[in-house]
Amino acid sequence: MLKPKLTQSILLLLSTISIILFIFFISFSIQYNKNSPNISTFTNKTITLKNSSHQFTLFIGILTRPDKYDRRHFLRLIYGTQSSSPIAKTDVKFILCNLTKPEQKILIALEIMRFDDIIILDCHENMNSGKTYTYFSTLPKILPTRYDYVMKADDDVFIRLKPLALSLHTLPRFDLYYGFVIPCPSMNPFVHYMSGMGFVLSWDLVEWISDSLVTVNRTFGPEDKLVGEWLNSGKKAKNRFSNKPAMYDYPGTNGRCSHDLIPDTIAVHRVKKWDQWLHVLSFFNVTKDIKPSKLYNL
Ligand SMILES: *[C@@H]1O[C@H](CO)[C@@H](O)[C@H](O)[C@H]1NC(C)=O
Ligand SMILES: *[C@@H]1O[C@H](CO)[C@@H](O)[C@H](O)[C@H]1NC(C)=O
Ligand SMILES: *[C@@H]1O[C@H](CO)[C@@H](O)[C@H](O)[C@H]1NC(C)=O
Ligand SMILES: *[C@@H]1O[C@H](CO)[C@@H](O)[C@H](O)[C@H]1NC(C)=O
Ligand SMILES: CC(=O)N[C@H]1CO[C@H](CO)[C@@H](O)[C@@H]1O
């Protein structure tokens, strides 16, 4: 009679110890991972992280064109193999304008059935004639939930989701405009605007773009420059953060916007050719965690 009870208590003790060890391990690994130079304090954040599965939500829309099937499949590999947890919950979707060819309606419907990562906006495909406006102004009306942050990204940029999440998680959740400030040598995020390679707005600014009279008739022109002009005209984005040198153009492609690949990278832009992609992917060891198996020998 005594034996089962004893076994039970031992089991209880063991599971309690393992839970404590688990919590200790989690908090340790969070602290350990937190070595980005842009983050100063996180004592309270650690407590929050332990308590919830993620701390904030980020929506990344990659603006691309319907016919770029190969690029989408490639980018699905790039982002599908990354995770920003437990710091953030990140959703990545491709942003298209209206389809124009019969085969697109079949092929893209298949992509949607398989991946559910495509948004088709009510616009004609374009770069500087309002697609970015349509993107930001439509999101609050069609997304099932709000996000803390919304990013607009190009399809020739490599974004590292975890470093991005780490750099955002101590920044304000409101009135925030984050990216790579133009002109290239500038370190002042309050002059001019964030490069279209990839910039982040807090949700309140996305809603403001959607509702404001400042933006509605100013949708034509260089898309990234316009966003800066809207925010300045509306006296918005009191919180601005330009993340240099962690964001940049691929080495040698764009003068002073470019520099060598560095370990503390958040985004590399103008990655267009295969040899450039391979250079980037090998530099950041993106395949190092592949699990061993009898099925392949790489
Ligand atoms: C943690 O947050 C609480 C209230 O939210 C605050 O009073 C306390 O000073 C914070 N501690 C640190 C170390 O920031
Ligand atoms: C996009 O497609 C929708 C549905 O077919 C149509 O109502 C809308 O006018 C189109 N928009 C543009 C800008 O072509
Ligand atoms: C935007 O332009 C339209 C058409 O020109 C005009 O009717 C409308 O009043 C303008 N809205 C604002 C807020 O300027
Ligand atoms: C990639 O792996 C190599 C070899 O382990 C290491 O020296 C290098 O620092 C890693 N690069 C990055 C960006 O983590
Ligand atoms: C999973 C968990 O521990 N959730 C807790 C997080 O913190 C809130 C408020 O502090 C609690 O109500 C939850 O139970």
Q: Which domains does the chain have, with CATH numbers?
A: 51-283 (3.90.550.10)
What pLDDT is attached to residue 246? 97
Q: Nearest residue CA, atom 7 of ligand 2?
A: 122
CA of 151 to the centre of ligand 3 (A): 27
Q: Could you please report the per-residue DSSP string of the chain?
A: -HHHHHHHHHHHHHHHHHHHHHHHHHHHHHHHH---TT----HHHHHHHHHSS-SEEEEEEEE--TT-HHHHHHHHHHHHT---TTTEEEEEEEEE----SHHHHHHHHHHHHHH--EEE-SS-S-SSSSHHHHHHHHHHHH-SS--SEEEEE-TTEEE-HHHHHHHHTTS-SSSEEEE-EESTT---TTSSEE-TTEEEEEHHHHHHHHH-HHHHT---S-HHHHHHHHHHHTT---EEEE-TTTEEEPTTSSGGGB----TT-SEEE---SHHHHHHHHHHTTTTTTPPP-TT---
What pLDDT is attached to residue 129? 80
- Which atom of ligand 3 lies at the shortest distance from residue 217's CA? 1
Q: Nearest residue CA, atom 9 of ligand 2?
A: 122
Ligand nearest to the CA of 40: 1
The two structure tokens encoding residue 109: 């419907």
Tell me, using a 6 A CB cutoff, whether residue 284 lines ligand 4: yes
CA of 289 to the centre of ligand 2 (A): 44
What pLDDT is attached to residue 273? 96
* pLDDT tens profile 125-170: 876 789 999 999 999 999 999 999 999 999 999 999 999 999 999 9
What pLDDT is attached to residue 4? 62
Ligand nearest to the CA of 160: 4
Tell me, using a 6 A CB cutoff, whether residue 124 lines ligand 2: yes
Task: Report the alpha-carbon distance of residue 10 to residue 58 in Å, rounded.
Answer: 44
Q: Nearest residue CA, atom 7 of ligand 3?
A: 217
Instruction: Report the residue among 210, 212, 217 best suited for mutation to probe ligand 3: largest number of ligand atoms under 8 A from its CB.
Output: 217
What pLDDT is attached to residue 157? 98
Tell me, using a 6 A CB cutoff, whether residue 35 lines ligand 1: no
C-alpha dist (Å) from residue 110 to 103, 107, 114, 115, 122: 11, 5, 6, 8, 20
Instruction: Report the residue among 98, 134, 135 best suited for mutation to probe ligand 2: largest number of ligand atoms under 8 A from its CB.
Output: 98
Tell me, using a 6 A CB cutoff, whether residue 42 lines ligand 4: no
Task: Report the alpha-carbon distance of residue 265 to residue 279 in Å, rounded.
Answer: 14
CA of 192 to the centre of ligand 5 (A): 42
What pLDDT is attached to residue 24? 58
> CA nearest 63: which of 14, 16, 85, 96?
96
What pLDDT is attached to residue 53? 56
Q: Nearest residue CA, atom 5 of ligand 3?
A: 217
- Which atom of ligand 3 lies at the shortest distance from residue 213's CA? 13
Task: Report the alpha-carbon distance of residue 61 to residue 231 in Å, rounded.
Answer: 20
Tell me, using a 6 A CB cutoff, whether residue 52 lines ligand 3: no
Tell me, using a 6 A CB cutoff, whether residue 216 lines ligand 3: yes
In the chain (298 residues long), the average pLDDT of successive 10-residue segments reads 66 71 54 38 45 80 97 97 92 97 98 98 86 96 97 98 95 97 94 96 98 93 94 97 97 95 98 97 96 92
Q: What is the pTM of this model?
A: 0.78
Tell me, using a 6 A CB cutoff, whether residue 33 lines ligand 2: no
